[in-house]
């Protein structure tokens, strides 16, 4: 398995390409803000000879869904996400305007995932874990085989997600982190929505918000 991180948009969101040995790949949180950024993503995918077969959203804040329309137009892929994120998805153009940005209305999802659901990419299984707190419907995608988890904006290296936006709840966020993420093996790699990768073990020891 290979995991690649590309950073897009003025908000500097991480977009992940998660590929197995067959060449199939999942794109997680496609944050490409414009055609130039999406061209960078597609050129990378073509260079690696990957075939995107899954588009996943950890949650649907504007920066994480900027590229969803590009993915539909180029690869005929609609996202999978929590149904609880539809409010954020529909409000994302208005939120973009608030930040001085512009975006078209994102496409409707292909379907919805809930806690415990799995999606498969070749021989690789990703398990959706409901981790509310940053948003009501935030999902993390855990790959036990590769000992990694894609957490969106729930936890960062040395930090946690903000909870002052609609659907945010600080106590729920801490509960999600402690009961859903920090219980994983310490070597589990955390791929966050912003910033560098970390591990469960590192955050148990060093994250000042979790002591």
Instruction: Evaluate whether 31 touches 58 at the Cβ level (below 8 Å).
Output: no
Residue 77 covered by a domain: yes
Average pLDDT in the 34-54 region? 97
Residue 49 inside a domain? The answer is: yes
Structural domain contains residue 211: no
Q: What is the 3-state secondary structure (H, E, C) of 106-127?
A: CCCCCEECCCCCEEEECCEEEE
Three-class DSSP category at 6: strand
Q: Please say if the pLDDT value at position 1 is more than 90.
A: no
| CATH code, 140 | 3.60.15.10
The whole-number average pLDDT for the span 167-186 is: 97
**Domain contains 24:** yes
Give me the number of domains the chain comprises.
Answer: 1
Question: Which residue range forms the structural domain that includes residue 117?
Answer: 2-206
Question: Is 13 contained in some domain?
Answer: yes
**Is the residue at 92 inside a domain?**
yes
Please report whether residue 115 resides in a domain: yes
Q: Is residue 188 part of a domain?
A: yes
- pTM score of the predicted model: 0.97
Q: 5-36 burial, b if ≥16 CB within 10 A, otherwise e?
A: ebebbebebbbbbbbbeeebbbbbbbbbbeee
Question: Over the stretch 58-111, which tens digit does the pLDDT of each residue have?
Answer: 999 999 999 999 999 999 999 999 999 999 999 999 999 988 999 999 999 999
pLDDT-derived band at 171 (thresholds 50, 70, 90) equals: very high
């Amino acid at each position: 398995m290979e995991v690649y991180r590309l950073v897009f948009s003025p908000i500097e969101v991480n977009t992940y390409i998660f590929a197995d040995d067959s060449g199939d790949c999942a794109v997680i949180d496609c944050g490409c803000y414009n055609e130039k950024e999406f061209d960078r993503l597609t050129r990378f995918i073509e260079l690696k000879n990957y075939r995107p077969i899954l588009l996943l959203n950890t949650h649907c804040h504007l920066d994480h869904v900027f590229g969803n329309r590009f993915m539909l137009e180029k690869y005929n892929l609609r996202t999978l996400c929590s149904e609880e994120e539809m409010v954020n998805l529909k409000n994302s153009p208005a939120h973009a305007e608030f930040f001085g940005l512009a975006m078209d209305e994102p496409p409707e999802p292909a379907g919805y995932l809930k806690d415990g659901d799995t999606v498969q990419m070749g021989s690789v299984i990703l398990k959706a874990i409901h981790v509310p707190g940053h948003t009501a419907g935030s999902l993390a995608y855990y790959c036990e085989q590769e000992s990694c988890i894609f957490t969106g904006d729930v936890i960062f290296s040395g930090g946690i997600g903000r909870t002052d936006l609609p659907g945010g709840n600080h106590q729920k966020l801490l509960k999600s982190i402690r009961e859903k993420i920090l219980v994983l093996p310490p070597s589990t790699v955390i791929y966050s929505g912003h910033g560098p990768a970390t591990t469960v073990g590192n955050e148990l020891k060093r994250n000042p918000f979790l002591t």
